[in-house]
Structure 1
């Protein structure tokens, strides 16, 4: 269930330029807050990050710290962009980021860089916002840049989240959300149409934006929907509403699959179980969550529907997802699969 997607930018870590030698000294380390560590960045700069972060969170902070150091040293007008801007905005990303990306309307330098990637593109003032004082591309511009430059799945994860934020996605206000998401989609497509003729990645960006959805609540949910698209099922319903035993439930994805015994639409529900889904500090709360989830599933199955559940191990590739779903689908007679082939192009 998604109740009004909330915009939460990620804070940049504290960065000190040109202090790597100093940072190794006891005097500097004495100023580092408890529970933090000093990480070396580019050109001797250091970032101060929490020492209890997981691998992904630490990589995010190092990426943002490097991007902040790059921004501070850049003397021409610029903005952090692409996946770097996505991280700064707090958007979901599919995999650990590579080098930070910086966009400028003029060539920054002829020098070769290895720790960040720069690109020269038009950068209207309205496309730039400041996060912690750092210039970054706006949400809409970030969505279009990612749709142009990233692999299709990586791009779809970002654009899904942008649609959710800008439409204030709420499962209990589906009509309103879909209407506002359609407006955002039109604005993104208009940005793509305004690109110079033959602009790199424009065709793929259009396909990504057209198939993006405001209903994904996590990157794995976007992956499952993407897997169905490239398999050929274009009729998946995200955040499908189900009324069962007097309760209202929402499932991650659902495919229409014939009729229930009472003649109503039967669904194959597709759910992703994240590693942290039932992880809370109190064991009693964990047990209560497991019981509630079990009762929810039983209530849905009692309607005559079916369910396919995935976790990280069971969703390693689109082909693996397609095999599991195909084995669960009952009504395949006359069904024609139409893969969205453009999403497969890199």
Structure 2
């Protein structure tokens, strides 16, 4: 079989059928490459070479981004739709909590023609020009509009995650509020509650989901990214209660994400262990949880138990 790496790609890394045919490939050859796994077909008439990045924790987001671009940049859809909702989030690089990426979400200006169409979820409504931006030549809803749309259609945790992330990326809180104004969908109350609690200091999906559970359980809310100065060193913590109790969400690639230049993952883990030891010696209790704890509902009971025992933790002494 011919080498798929020699196929012409566009600026997005996508292979268009017309370009492949012009390079002496046939539809039969393309179909055979898809069957063998040498090519992926994110949309009709569009292909891409598999990449190791698709197997990483954020691989699904990257694959959906490419699929969304493939859909709206095809000849039949060009200029007719704007990427929105989860698909716009993928283009913006906005991390979401359990996004539904089975279909590419597009918004078409007007009041008719919405619904599912093959590989697309079409939202038909009057979309103001101010809610549309261009990213890499592709029309997508603005960060503010994207966050609002997702918040209106998800759970409280999903809404909080989307708005936290949008604020962290530079979105305007007032801008999101304006785009929720007058929206009368069933998710309006959830979206407004999420906006009221949103905080750009939340650094990951797991931190936002953790905080959403705390809020819904009516726990005492922590200070985010609080700094502790101990023995001349500064330690920043995900969640802090009264400088006595610290909570840390350990994501799948937290240590890789926070590695210093030239530092291995093992070095980062050791540095984190020394950090926790320093906090403990100073009288700060450190509790940790992972994704599975959130999935199984174990985080709130654990934090509640430590909050109940907070007054028994010795005071911080630097």
Shorter-normalised TM range: 0.7 to 0.9
Deviations 1:315-346 (A, max 9, x none): 324x310121123224479xxxxxxxxxxxxx
Gaps of 5+ in 2: 1-10, 312-318
Q: Give the aligned partner of residue 248 of structure 2.
A: 271
TM-fit CA distance, 1:142: 0.8
Q: TM-score, normalised by structure 1?
A: 0.73
Q: Give the aligned partner of residue 302 of structure 1.
A: 281
Deviations 1:144-173 (A, max 9, x none): 111112222222212111111217xxxxxx
Q: Which consecutive segments of 4 or more residues in structure 1 shift more than 6 A? A: 18-21, 26-29, 280-284
Task: Give the superposed CA RMSD.
Answer: 3.3
Going from structure 1 to structure 2, the CA distance change for 1:211 and 1:246 (only over 3 Å counts) comes to same
The yes-or-no answer on 1:227 pairing with 2:213 is yes
Figure out how many residues of one structure are paired with residues of the other and give that number.
289
Q: TM-score, normalised by structure 2?
A: 0.78
**Counterpart-to-counterpart distance in 1, 2:85 and 2:175:** 18
Going from structure 1 to structure 2, the CA distance change for 1:63 and 1:147 (only over 3 Å counts) comes to same
Deviations 1:100-140 (A, max 9, x none): 11011125747851322111122111211112211000111
Q: Give the aligned partner of residue 148 of structure 1.
A: 152
Whether the 8 Å CA contact 2:113–2:122 is kept in 1: the answer is: no
Going from structure 1 to structure 2, the CA distance change for 1:222 and 1:281 (only over 3 Å counts) comes to closer
Structure 2 SS opposite 1:235 = coil
Going from structure 1 to structure 2, the CA distance change for 1:69 and 1:285 (only over 3 Å counts) comes to closer
Going from structure 1 to structure 2, the CA distance change for 1:121 and 1:328 (only over 3 Å counts) comes to same
The yes-or-no answer on 1:42 pairing with 2:10 is no
Structure 2 SS opposite 1:53 = helix
The yes-or-no answer on 1:241 pairing with 2:227 is yes
**Counterpart-to-counterpart distance in 2, 1:110 and 1:222:** 31
Shifted more, 136-145 versus 236-245: the winner is 236-245
Structure 2 SS opposite 1:307 = strand
Structure 2 SS opposite 1:295 = helix
Whether the 8 Å CA contact 1:12–1:88 is kept in 2: the answer is: no
Going from structure 1 to structure 2, the CA distance change for 1:131 and 1:66 (only over 3 Å counts) comes to same
TM-fit CA distance, 1:276: 2.4
The yes-or-no answer on 1:89 pairing with 2:66 is no
**Counterpart-to-counterpart distance in 2, 1:51 and 1:239:** 32
Going from structure 1 to structure 2, the CA distance change for 1:75 and 1:92 (only over 3 Å counts) comes to closer
TM-fit CA distance, 1:13: 4.4
**Counterpart-to-counterpart distance in 2, 1:281 and 1:313:** 27
Gaps of 5+ in 1: 1-10, 30-35, 168-183, 257-265, 334-346
Going from structure 1 to structure 2, the CA distance change for 1:44 and 1:270 (only over 3 Å counts) comes to same
* 1:53-92 matches, cutoff 5 A: 53-54=54-55, 56-71=57-72, 72=74, 73-74=76-77, 77-92=80-95
**Counterpart-to-counterpart distance in 1, 2:115 and 2:206:** 39
**Counterpart-to-counterpart distance in 2, 1:113 and 1:136:** 19
Going from structure 1 to structure 2, the CA distance change for 1:199 and 1:286 (only over 3 Å counts) comes to closer
* 1:74-223 matches, cutoff 5 A: 74=77, 77-96=80-99, 97-106=101-110, 109=113, 113-166=117-170, 184-193=172-181, 195=182, 198-223=184-209
Report which structure shows greater RCO (CA 8 Å, sep ≥6): 1
Q: Which residue, out of 299, 302, 314, partners 1:321?
A: 299
Whether the 8 Å CA contact 2:148–2:191 is kept in 1: the answer is: yes
